[in-house]
């Protein structure tokens, strides 16, 4: 049987690259619908609610018009593929709102399919990993069998690899999905206003730089806790297997003292993890809440000067709200 790779990402890619690529292709296919869902609130506010589409006294406005504005290096101009329907203000509002609802349903369907496929992929890979670990256990030599406790091996195969199953489905798809969504949202914000786009990009950059560095210590502490929990399970099984000897030699107090020390060490590790984890979460939430404040302040100034309309500001806030957490 082939040995396990020393790195988890190599193992994931070798056994699931075809499925990962297929899911990532669907992620890319969902981006136009995601971008449209960011742009549509601006049209609802500007064209229908504030009436910009009827600002010159028109009784009707074009709805579902399809046109292409060519850039200057391609000769410029506009190509109209479909002239759309001419509707009044109320019907324009209802039509745009129904379009937004349709995009919400479509984007939700994309997320449902992607999450379902990630779960199926993770469970299939988890089954493979557990089987391979069990097959490797059958190859233990006599010396290895005497050194490895059965309870520790069972804990590894049953419990410790359980979180890896969900991680396998997320390892490649989630960075691709959330990364492309973040780039799409930032590009949309830049298209509305360069300064607001730079503010959003700067704050996201701070989060992506600072938060992972602060979380590294959490990963180190979690690894120590996992090893300590495994050793604790092995020690409990060892005491249980030798319970007649413990009773015969009257070493119960010593065993209780040792287990108490191990439990306190686990408690201390968990407490340190909780303190750092919630401190990082507080800092991340603080940075995330500062950005809307800047949007309101800077965007409000631009709106008062007439350099930014209300629909654009609403769309920028909605796009930033949809940005994934780092």
Query: Do 276 and 214 meet the contact criterion of CB atoms below 8 Å apart?
Result: yes
**For residue 2, what pLDDT band results from cuts at 50, 70 and 90?**
low
The residue with greater pLDDT, 31 or 72, is 31
Q: Which of 41, 24, 326 is nearest to 201 (CA)?
A: 326
Q: Is 42 exposed, middle or buried (0-12, 13-18, 19+ CB in 10 A)?
A: buried
What is d(CA 318, CA 314) in angstroms, rounded to the nearest whole number?
A: 6
Question: Residue 180 pLDDT > 80, yes or no?
Answer: yes
pLDDT of residue 28: 93
pLDDT tens digits for range 297-317:
888 888 888 777 778 888 888
pLDDT tens digits for range 35-57:
888 888 888 888 778 777 777 76
Angle at 89 between CA 83 and CA 95, to 5 degrees: 65
pTM above 0.75, yes or no: no
* Stretch 230-254: mean pLDDT: 80
The residue with greater pLDDT, 155 or 294, is 294
């Amino acid at each position: 049987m082939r040995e396990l790779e020393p790195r988890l990402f190599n193992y994931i890619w070798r056994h699931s690259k075809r499925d990962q690529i297929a899911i990532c292709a669907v992620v890319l296919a969902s981006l136009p619908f995601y971008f449209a869902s960011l742009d549509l609130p601006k049209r609802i506010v500007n064209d229908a609610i504030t009436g910009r589409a009827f600002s010159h006294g028109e009784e009707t406005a074009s709805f579902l018009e399809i046109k292409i504005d060519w850039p200057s290096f391609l000769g410029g101009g506009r190509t109209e593929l479909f002239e759309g329907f001419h509707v009044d203000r109320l019907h324009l509002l209802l039509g745009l709102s129904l379009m937004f609802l349709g995009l919400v349903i479509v984007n939700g369907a994309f997320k449902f399919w992607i999450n379902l496929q990630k779960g199926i992929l993770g469970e299939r890979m988890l089954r493979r990993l557990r089987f391979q670990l069990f097959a490797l256990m059958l190859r233990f030599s006599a010396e290895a069998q005497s050194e490895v406790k059965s309870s520790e091996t069972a804990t590894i195969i049953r419990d410790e690899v359980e979180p890896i199953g969900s991680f396998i489905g997320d390892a490649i798809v989630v960075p691709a999905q959330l990364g492309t969504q973040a780039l799409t949202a930032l590009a949309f914000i830049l298209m509305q206003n360069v300064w607001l786009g730079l503010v959003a990009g700067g704050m996201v950059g701070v989060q992506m730089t600072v938060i992972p560095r602060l979380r590294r210590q959490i990963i180190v502490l979690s690894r120590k806790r996992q090893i300590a929990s495994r050793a604790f399970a092995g020690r409990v099984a060892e005491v249980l297997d030798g319970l007649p000897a413990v009773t015969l030699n009257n070493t119960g107090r010593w065993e209780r003292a040792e287990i108490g020390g191990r439990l306190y060490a686990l408690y201390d590790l968990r407490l340190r993890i909780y303190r750092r984890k919630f401190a990082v979460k507080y800092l991340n939430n603080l940075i995330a809440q500062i950005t809307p404040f800047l949007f309101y302040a800077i965007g409000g100034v631009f709106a008062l000067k007439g350099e930014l309309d209300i629909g654009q500001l609403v769309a920028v806030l909605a796009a930033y709200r949809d940005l994934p957490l780092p």
